[in-house]
Every structure is written in structure tokens, then in C-alpha cells.
Structure 1
Amino acid sequence: MKRQWRDGNRIELLINGEEYFPRVFECIRAATREVLVETFIIFEDKVGHELREVLIEAAQRGVRVELAFDGYGTADLGEEFIASMTSAGVRVHAFDPSPRLLGMRTNLFRRLHRKIVVIDGEMAFVGGINYSADHLADFGPMAKQDYAVEVSGPVVADLRRSSLRLLSQVLDGPSEIRPTARSTGQARILLVERDNNRHTTDIEQQYLAAFRGARSRVVVANAYFFPGYRLLRELRNAARRGVKVQLILQGQPDMLWAQVFSRLLYKYLLREGVTIYEYCKRPLHGKVALVDEEWSTVGSSNLDPLSLALNLEANLFVRDRAFNQYLHRHLEQLATEHCKSISLERMVRGYWWRAPLIFLCFHFIRRFPAIAGWFPAHRPNLESQHPAKDEEPHLDEGKT
């Protein structure tokens, strides 16, 4: 797909599940023709059950419903849960649903990590929020802090084409729906994908260009932060030329390794003037950034090796002052009220053992995508889940 900026879009930031889920489910309930959903995770909790209910309702009133989930991230979804949807007419597809080898999952890498919803070709949602209750505050201390956007306008057609391209191997035929091309707002938006074919570094290139051109400020809020040297160098160079560079990273990690690896990079960045905050109120799961007063991005891609070199990802890059300012105010509040600032003095202590570890990690990660290619089950394959029949099992354990 050729990348192209689209003018005339409306965009709204949705913070956490409290804002995201009600809006997505409301729009699915109002769908009249088509619902396309891609996600990494669906859990059988109150959020997953509500997603199932609204998709079944839509299918039963004649809406075409396509649901694609990652076979690794959603590996434990029950047979009955899936069968209730397929029997109602929801077309359910598992991405890379490989059987287990000696009881272990083999599809560890190159995951479907995108989170996209497209409804009637008129509106869409993109971000980092999965369908699970741990994106809601009432989940408790480990509830995730995360982001998505709702968009309408010409960029929706690009999102729909992207989803249909992913689904092309399991679709029965072409759709008769023509997405809207009318202007709905002032935002200029670019959809950028990362795949393992022609667009292997597209998201990274957008970040590099933005950091390279930054003049006043860069703010990155990222769950899993361990980028390659090129991105680190551009952040360092931006700080050196007087740009205010702020990173908001995990201080209460959902995965300890994420914080450990990120902290290996702190000294390199801090000594050049980059400000680093660790968000401590809850686990940070966001993948957002802004540069200067106009450029922003929201999507599924972390700045780590899995997202930048292996997973299927999708980010929206936005040029809109109002959106940029709103996101900036929110991130400033996050940094001020719920983060601890990391000092260079703290990171220097014990650096003698970090330096060789950083060296080894960088060289390992540079070769990590090639190493991951040795593992089986990393081809972009979708397997449709069919309605259960009395004489056939619903699904075997390895294909949930």
C-alpha cells in the first residue's frame, strides 16, 4: 500500500477502557452494513463477553462481521466462546493458529499486534487497547494506562483496505461497500503499517523523520522502550540541539523485563539532556508520541524489537494542532502527577556492570529478527473458525 496523507479527518483521543470500550460497542451496535475488528487479545471477561454480544447482535441483524485475533495473544479463548459467535454468523479468524509442539506454543513471534475497528466504512478506531478488563480502572492496581483514537473521514478508507488485505485469504468475495471520502474535520492523517513483506521499517522511518526535524519538543509515552541505535541517536541529537525531549516509560511494569531493558538505556539518554519519567500509578501500556506543536502518533507499535522488526502493527500519524495540544496537556499531567523523575546520578551508580550488558543487548537485538526467523509458524496465515457441528469438534486446543 502506498502511503498517502489524507486531509479532512476528524480525530478524538480515547484514554483507557473507560472511554474506548463504550464508544466502540456503541458504534458496533449502530452498524448497518459491516464491522471489521482486528485485535491481539480477547479475554473471556466482562469486556470480552460484551464484545461477543455486540458482534453477535450485529451479525444477527444482517451486518457482515469479521473478527481477526492473534493466535498467540488469544490462544486460551474457549471453544464455546468462539462457537457462539460463528454459529450466529460472525466470521472469526485466528492469525497464525499453529498447533503446539511438545505442549508448547510455537507462534512466539511475528504476531498480529494491530488493534483496528472499521465500521460501515464510515468510522474507525486505532490504538493499543485490547479487549480485556485489565484496561479498566476497577481491575485494580495492575489496570493498564492506554490510548486509542476514533477517526472519521478519508483515512477510514485506508484502514478498511488494510483490514481487508489482511483478511483477503479468508474472504468469500469482494465487498460492495464504498467507504466515505467526505471531509469530516481538519486533521491530516497518515496510516502506516509494519509488516514482514514490503513495509518492514515504515513506522520506524516516520519516527526517525519526526525526531530529526524536531525544533521545540518531543514527548514519547511508550510501554516497551528499547529502540535501535538510530532512534536513540535522533533523540540524543534532538536534545543536543536544544529540543526538550521527554520520555514517559513504565515505572510499575506489567512485565519486569520491559523496565529492566529500558533502564539499560537511561544513562546514554540522560547525559545528553533527555528527561525520563517513570509512570508509577499503574502499568503503562500506551504507544503515543508527539513532536513540536502539530505532529502526533497513536497506534499499536511500541519502540522495541518485537514491534519494530517482527509484529504486524498499525499507527496513525497525525498533523493537527488541536489534537497535539490535547495529547500534550494529558501527558504533562501524567508526568507531573503520577511519575517519578529519573536522575543521571542514580543511573551512574553501578554503571560498570551495565555498560557491557548494554553492548551485548544491542548486538543481540540487532540480530534478533533473523534469529526469530528460525522459529516455525511465523507466516501471515489466517485460519477461519467454523460453526460447530454435532459430528465434529469445535476446535482443538492448539487452535484457540
Structure 2
Amino acid sequence: MSGVWRDGNQIELLINGEEYYPRVFERIRAARVEVLLETFIIFEDKVGMELQAVLIEAAKRGVRVVIAVDGYGTADLGKEYVAALTREGVKVHVFDPSPRRLGMRTNLFRRLHRKIVVIDGERAFVGGINYSADHLGDFGEMAKQDYAVEVTGPIVADLHTCTLRLLRPALAEPSPVQATTRATGEVRIMLLERDNDRHTTDIEEQYVTALRNAKERVVVANAYFFPSYSVLRELRNAARRGVKVVLILQGQPDMQWAQGFSRLLYNYLLRDGVVIYEYCQRPLHGKVALVDHEWSTVGSSNLDPLSLALNLEANLFVRDRDFNQQLHEHLEQLAAEHCKRFQLERLLRGYWWRAPLVFLCFHFVRLFPAIAGWLPAHRKNLQPLDPTPGPEPEPKPDPIVESVTKPCCYKEEKTG
């Protein structure tokens, strides 16, 4: 179940791949019964190969290992990589794969963008970090800045249920574990999903409520920032009330167009006192925020039309002063040492000729999810990924999982 505050949890912030990968791989190596893993991207680099190795080790010990990857984000995973997993009993599923057209991936919208790992029903990981070497500092100047959390306690049962709900139609047997509800700490946490069924606006509404009730400070660090008008309005209103509102956005973008859209909104926010920094050390891929001294969130959801209106997302919302303060100190240091601040005067120069463009672009992007909704909707069905050639099984529509997926996997040049 999502949308319920759970007391009695423990949480640890993990910054970048340097902290995330060793921890999640260590936990998988210690798994006894079950590993469930969802991710947007697995690449066949040093991170993807280590993930493969720890999953195979777990399967050889008799652990049930089930993973789901996105058919767009993980379109380039090779047959041999998948075959090595499935030979040892790892169950690999793909969310909505489609063949390329003229060398381009075509299944652009309604992606499986969640990043969740649940181990033995006792601990879990949630965040924005994929399984690729570009989340490590030694990748170079395009290494991503990102965040995840490790949790234990009753919230793990919600994450276990959430992941099984996606996977269940493709699994022949039920989960062998009963997820824990035992308290392990004092942190209050809520899981919120975003899907295209009953939870279309849950994450967005939690942001709006927190911003509306903000009294002292708001800090948002988000990779792809082009939120709904409701979120923009509450950010601006909070600044007008005297709340210190700080945005940390991409200054060294991995996708230039995304930064361009974000900058269209700067004048609207700056003129009412919102402080905007651009992080310039490396591409920002994080999706974190905090309000006042207790409320925080970490997850997979960007504040853009894809995440807020199309993709499958999962965020944890946290009520804990220590975690909030830890995240605030980190983001404050990030802004002070590695960001440039935008000033209103800079943006106002020559703004008159850009105003009509800003208006048109904002309203097009704001209405984009509705436009995309005119496209044929994905039916919900998840099936195993079979690396061996052969006829594709006939897909069976299912009302639970959001996609038509086919056993297909092929190796092509990566596009990132």
C-alpha cells in the first residue's frame, strides 16, 4: 500500500554511486530468500557487470531473484548478459520494449522510471540512481550527482507490495517472504507512487501540500525542472510569504533542451524572491527536496511533465529532523561550493522579445501530458525477457501492470 505514513523506520542517505553501489551490492550478497529489483537503466559497464555478478551469486545460493527493467532505458542490454542471468534462474522482465525505427528508440512515454530494491522483505533502497558507471566520479565531467536511501522498518512492507504489484502478473509463484512490519527506528516515512491508473497525481499533491504549509525554508534539488503550475504557484507564494525558497538545478546539463525549458521559468520565480542556483560541477540527476525542518523527499520523480504525468515513479516522503538537517547541510554545501546563482537583472536584459516564446513554450509543455495521452495507451502486461531466439508469446492484457511487454532483447550502440 502507498500513501500511508509508517512509524518506526530507519533511513540512511546515500550520495552518488560511490555510496550507493557498494551498499546495495553488499545487501544483495547477504540476501537469504528474495531480491526484487526495478530500474530504468542497466548498462553493460563495470557497474552493470558487478550487478550481474551479485545477482547470479544470489541465485546460485537459492535466493529468488526477480528484476524489471525499462524497455526504453535498458534497450541496449545484450543477449549474453541476459542469458547469463536466466541460466542461473534469475527472472528478468522488460517493461514495454519496442523495436527501433530508423535506429531510434520509439517507446518514449509512460516509462518504468522507478528505482527500487527490496531484499528479503526486510530492507529496501529507493532513489534516482541507475546501474551505470556514469553515476561514479571517475566517469569524468559527465558523472551524475544523485541520491538514494536505504530503509528498514514497516515502510519496507509497502515497498515489497508495490514491487510485487508490478511483477505479480509475470510470476508463476507468490513471494516466499512475508515483509517485515517490525520497528527498527523512529523515522516516519510514506511511500507514494505515480502511475497511470489510481495514483496519477499523488507525488505532485504531496509537494503542493508541503509547499503550501512551508513556514521557514524550502530547498529543491531536481534534475529536470518544469513542474505543473500548481507547484510553481506554491513555490512563488511561499517566497512571497517570506519563506526562503532555494532551487538547485542543472548548470552542466546532460540534456541541453531540459535546461532550456527550466530557464524559461527563472524570471517568473526570481521576481518574487525565489533563489535559483545552477550546479556546475557535474550533471545533476537528483530528485530531492526538503521543507522546513522535518519534511523531506528522495525518489525517482523529477518535477517535469514526464515524471509528473506519464512515467511510473516512486518517492519516499520522510518526516524526521535529523534526516532533514543532514540533507539540508549537504545541499547548502553544494550550493556554496559548486553552484552559480542567477540574478533577476541578468534575465531581464532582452527579456521583452523572449516573453511570447516563454508563454508559448510553457503552455505547450504544461499541456504535453494531455497531448501524449492521445497516443495509444499501453496495456498492462509484464512477461519474462527471453534472450534466446524464438516466436514471441501472445501478450495477455492485464489490468494491473502498465505496459505491453515482449520477450525481446538486442545489442546496439548505446545512446544514453
Shorter chain as normaliser: what TM range?
A: over 0.9
Partner of 1:35: 35
With the length of structure 2 as denominator, give the TM-score of the two structures: 0.93
* CA displacement 1:338-367 (0-9 Å, x = unmatched): 001100001111212321122112221232
| Count of residue pairs the alignment pairs up | 399
- Residues 106, 375 of structure 1: 8 Å contact kept: no
Partner of 1:21: 21
Which residue type is aligned with residue 275 of structure 2?
A: T
- Structure 1 294/265 Cα, relative in aligned 2: closer, same or farther at 3 Å? same
With the length of structure 1 as denominator, give the TM-score of the two structures: 0.96
- Alpha-carbon shift at residue 369 of structure 1 (Å): 1.4
CA distance in 2, matches of 1:214, 1:54: 43
CA distance in 2, matches of 1:188, 1:315: 14
- Structure 1 139/398 Cα, relative in aligned 2: closer, same or farther at 3 Å? closer
Partner of 1:154: 154
- The 5 Å alignment of 1:1-400 reads 1=1, 3-101=3-101, 103-376=103-376, 378-386=378-386, 388=388, 395=408, 397=410
Q: Aligned residues: percent identity?
A: 75
- Structure 1 225/69 Cα, relative in aligned 2: closer, same or farther at 3 Å? same
- Residues 60, 88 of structure 1: 8 Å contact kept: yes
Which residue type is aligned with residue 176 of structure 2?
A: E
Q: Which sections of structure 2, spanning at least 5 residues, go unmatched?
A: 393-406
SS class of match (1:14): strand
SS class of match (1:118): strand
Which residue type is aligned with residue 343 of structure 1?
A: Q
- Alpha-carbon shift at residue 113 of structure 1 (Å): 0.2
The CA RMSD measured in Å over matched residues stands at 1.8
Q: Which sections of structure 1, spanning at least 5 residues, go unmatched?
A: none
- Residues 33, 176 of structure 2: 8 Å contact kept: no
- Alpha-carbon shift at residue 160 of structure 1 (Å): 0.4
- Alpha-carbon shift at residue 396 of structure 1 (Å): 5.3
- Residues 96, 383 of structure 1: 8 Å contact kept: no
Which residue type is aligned with residue 341 of structure 1?
A: R
CA distance in 1, matches of 2:161, 2:361: 38
- Structure 1 322/141 Cα, relative in aligned 2: closer, same or farther at 3 Å? same
CA distance in 2, matches of 1:353, 1:90: 57
- Alpha-carbon shift at residue 97 of structure 1 (Å): 1.4
SS class of match (1:131): coil
- Residues 107, 377 of structure 1: 8 Å contact kept: no
- Structure 1 284/61 Cα, relative in aligned 2: closer, same or farther at 3 Å? same
- Residues 128, 286 of structure 2: 8 Å contact kept: yes
SS class of match (1:168): helix
- Alpha-carbon shift at residue 262 of structure 1 (Å): 0.6
CA distance in 1, matches of 2:249, 2:79: 37
Which residue type is aligned with residue 335 of structure 1?
A: A
CA distance in 1, matches of 2:81, 2:376: 28
